[in-house]
Amino acid sequence: MTDTDTDDVLLVRGGTPLEGEITVRGAKNLVPKAMVAALLGSGPSRLRNVPDIRDVRVVRGLLQLHGVTVRAGEEDGELVMDPSRVESAHVADIDAHAGSSRIPILFCGPLLHRLGHAFIPGLGGCDIGGRPVDFHFDVLRKFGARIDKRADGQYLEAPQRLQGCKIRLPYPSVGATEQVLLTAVLAEGLTELTNAAVEPEIEDLICVLQKMGAIISMDTDRTIRITGVDHLDGYTHRALPDRLESASWASAALATGGDILVRGAAQREMMTFLNVYRKVGGAFEVTDGGIRFRHPGGPLNSIALETDVHPGFQTDWQQPLVVALTQATGLSIVHETVYESRLGFTEALNQMGARIQLYRECLGGTPCRFGRRNFLHSAVVSGPTRLQGGELVIPDLRGGFSYLIAALAAEGTSRVHGIDLINRGYENFMEKLGRLGAKVERP
Ligand SMILES: CC(=O)N[C@H]1[C@@H](OP(=O)(O)OP(=O)(O)OC[C@H]2O[C@@H](n3ccc(=O)[nH]c3=O)[C@H](O)[C@@H]2O)O[C@H](CO)[C@@H](O)[C@@H]1O
Ligand SMILES: C=C(OP(=O)(O)O)C(=O)O
């Protein structure tokens, strides 16, 4: 689909506060990985709270190509995956199904265990930095995999059973940590991973693997130890809620002066976000069923914000919150330390009337990996500014949702191109917008 396709364009009439209730389901950053984990089991797995998003469809297609039967369970949002007949898939078919997601790389360990070989096509995912996968392949080599890089992708082979090993990640990468987990659980012997990522979605993946029969311990110092086992069963698991989508709606409430009850949102995984939300001047109430986010009236406060690995401020929360910061009084500082190019989306906000200046220097308290490498990875947001509707082309998933928020907060009408990308990570977002009173229509 191109951005000239009218199906992929949304007309947004701004100026109406978003008000009402919506529900978030399982996390985009857990569900597809738990689906990959099903490949490791000898029997069927049941995953609940699965959202209907594109990244889930991509993994479903890839599992099916490898002989896994995937069907809906009895409960709404339940998937039953049976891997009893895992088989090789044709390289061209894998390529066609890989889609826009980064998940195919996590098939490596499970396929090496089940088949002795794997093919990994070029990866999708958001264009917010170089996003190399060198850690993944370094890790797989340590387990004993052979990797042959060709023009169409990476061909992997396990000449013998993969062996547990000692690994230290150069940076606590979420994907590389998951790569280690999904590979080490069936490898022979002990694997010790230091400098691991400890995001809530990783803990939930560990819960899935433990239910399957894996032995995994987590220390407080980012060390994860996995004792390889010979056999894993299927699992039954309810995915943790999507803390990233929840925060996006929270930012939408703040930027539009609205009031949104996000059913399913969970406090524990959002503590860092909630502290920042309160500092900016947003109000929230945690209930048993979710979190209500609202603009309490009056001015918002400028803040200094630094994204970081968990338990720091999650980078995927950054872009939607920046839109709310355009409405705060004074100068806010945003230092993006996880991705080198995640602030480019602000140019379009400036065209709408925001005042956001980007810097190559580390403007936060902590110098980061990007400070001396010429990346525009810090921002100063001056506010409050009146936003005017504009012509917006969605650059990436969270940037796309941020443009929707900006268009909803702006005066006048915006044309937002490329909205299909939002389906990667936001279930039924059009329906949810409608329920919250947003004035949106297809041209
Ligand atoms: C599907 C999914 O779960 N996506 C999430 C996952 O992405 P993903 O797993 O891709 O993110 P990583 O944590 O791996 O990336 C973090 C940093 O490490 C670098 N890096 C990573 C791997 C590697 O082999 N080499 C390398 O240099 C990346 O370029 C980036 O600068 O975690 C990110 C950080 O919380 C989130 O923003 C994404 O939403
Ligand atoms: C960066 C993101 O996702 P992915 O890693 O799937 O591109 C995101 O969810 O904001």
CA nearest 69: which of 44, 48, 103?
44
Neighbours of 73 (CB within 10 A): 16
pLDDT in tens, 47-74: 999 999 999 999 999 999 999 999 999 9
Kindly state whether residues 175 and 233 are assigned to the same domain: yes
Claim to verify: residue 203 and residue 338 sit in the same structural domain: no
Q: What is the pLDDT of residues 416-439, one digit of tens each?
A: 999 999 999 999 999 999 999 999
Q: Is the dihedral of CA 116, 121, 124, 128 positive or negative?
A: positive
Token pair 């012997």 in the structure block, residue: 189
Together in a domain, 185 and 261: no
Alpha-carbon span 95 to 420, nearest angstrom: 20
Residue nearest to atom 29 of ligand 1 (CA): 131
Nearest Cα residue to atom 2 of ligand 2: 126
Q: Which of 20, 38, 21 is nearest to 30 (CA)?
A: 38
Q: How far is the CA of 173 from the centre of ligand 1 (A)?
A: 5
Torsion of CA 19, 20, 25, 27, to 10 degrees: 20
| pLDDT value of residue 6 | 60
Q: What is the 3-state secondary structure (H, E, C) of 235-289?
A: CEEECCECHHHHHHHHHHHHHHCCEEEEECCCCHHHHHHHHHHHHHCCEEEECCC
Q: What is the pLDDT of residue 359?
A: 97
pLDDT, residue 168, reads 98
**One domain for residues 158 and 103:** yes
For the CA of 338, the nearest ligand:
1
Judgement on whether residues 57 and 72 belong to the same structural domain of the protein: yes
- Note whether 237 and 48 are within 8 A (CB): yes
Which range (34-43, 152-161, 297-306) has the least confidence?
Answer: 152-161
Task: Answer whether residue 394 is part of any domain.
Answer: yes
At 335-365, the pLDDT tens digits run: 999 999 999 999 999 999 999 999 999 997 7
- pLDDT, residue 4, reads 46
Distance 131 CA to ligand 1 centre (A): 7
Contact 396, 127 (CB under 8 A): yes
Contact 380, 333 (CB under 8 A): yes
Average pLDDT over residues 383-399: 97
Domain that holds residue 331: 6-24+241-441
Query: Which residue among 177, 204, 238 closes a domain?
Result: 238
Q: Is 189 inside any structural domain?
A: yes
* Rounded (10°) angle between helices 174-184 and 108-115: 20
Model confidence at 2, in pLDDT bands (50, 70, 90)?
very low
Indicate if 50 and 180 belong to the same structural domain.
yes
Q: What is the ipTM of this complex?
A: 0.99
Q: Are residues 334 and 397 in the same domain?
A: yes
Report the 3 state secondary structure along 366-393: CCCCCCCCCCCCEEEEEECCCCECCEEE
- Are residues 73 and 48 in contact, defined by beta-carbon separation less than 8 angstroms? yes
Token pair for 220: 């407080």
pLDDT digits (tens, 9 = 90+) for 363-388: 977 899 998 889 999 999 999 999 99
Question: If you search the block for the tokens 């088949």, which residue do you land on?
Answer: 115
Show which of 203, 238, 273 is a domain's final residue: 238
Containing 70, the helix (H) or strand (E) segment is strand 69-72
Tell me, yes or no, if 126 is annotated catalytic: yes
Ligand 2 atom at minimal distance to the Cα of residue 103: 6
**Which residue in this structure is represented by tokens 């992997």?**
156
Q: Locate tokens 């009439």: which residue?
A: 13
Considering only CA atoms, which residue is closest to atom 1 of ligand 2?
126
Best probe residue, ligand 2, of 24, 59, 103, 126 (max atoms within 8 Å of C-beta): 126
Tokens of 86: 């895992």
If asked whether residues 260 and 221 sit together in one domain, one would say: no
Q: Does residue 91 form part of some domain? A: yes
> How confident is the model over 27-35, as a mean pLDDT?
98
Give ligand 1 pocket residues (Cβ under 6 A).
Answer: 29, 102, 129-136, 171, 173-176, 197, 199, 315-316, 338-339
As a whole number of angstroms, the distance between CA 18 and CA 432 comes to 10
Q: How far is CA 136 from CA 169, 173, 300, 340, in A?
A: 10, 9, 42, 19
Distance CA 78, CA 357 (A): 45
Q: Let me know whether 413 and 322 are in one domain.
A: yes
d(CA 421, CA 401): 9
Question: Is 181 found in the same domain as 252?
Answer: no
CATH number at residue 88: 3.65.10.10
Ligand 1 midpoint to CA 174 (Å): 5
The answer to whether residue 257 scores a pLDDT higher than 90 is: yes
Mean of all residue pLDDT scores within the chain? 95
**157 in a structural domain:** yes
429 bridge partner residues: none
Say yes or no: 214 and 251 in one domain.
Answer: no
d(CA 239, CA 253): 25
pLDDT band at 3 (very low <50, low <70, confident <90, very high): very low
Task: Give the closest ligand to the alpha carbon of residue 201.
Answer: 1
Q: How far is the CA of 171 from the centre of ligand 1 (A)?
A: 9
The amino acid present at 398, given as its one-letter code, is R
Alpha-carbon separation of residue 68 from 36, 85, 178, 202 (angstroms)? 10, 6, 21, 23
The secondary structure element, H or E, covering residue 417 is strand 413-417
Task: Point out the domain boundary residue: 238, 255, 287.
Answer: 238
Strands 378-383 and 355-359: antiparallel
- Summarised one tens digit per residue, pLDDT across range 172-213 is 999 999 999 999 999 999 999 999 999 999 999 999 999 999
Smallest Cα–Cα separation from 255: which of 438, 11, 9? 438
96 confidence band (pLDDT: 50, 70, 90)? confident
Flag whether 187 is in a domain: yes
In a domain, 1, yes or no: no
Number of structural domains (the chain) is 2
Residues 154 and 247 reside in one and the same domain: no
Say which residue the tokens 């009408």 belong to: 413
Would you say residue 224 lies in a domain?
yes
Under 8 Å between Cβ of 328 and 281: yes
User: Separation of 398 CA from ligand 2 center, angstroms?
Assistant: 8
Instruction: Provide the CB-side half-sphere exposure for 300 (13 A, CA).
Output: 31
pLDDT at 139: 98
Residue in 179, 342, 398 to alter for ligand 2 test, most ligand atoms within 8 A of Cβ: 398
Closest ligand, as measured to the CA of 425: 2
For ligand 1, atom 2: residue with the closest CA: 29
Q: How far apart are CA 291 and CA 118, in angstroms?
A: 42
pTM exceeds 0.90 for this model: yes
What's the whole-number mean pLDDT along residues 94-108?
A: 84
In a domain, 382, yes or no: yes
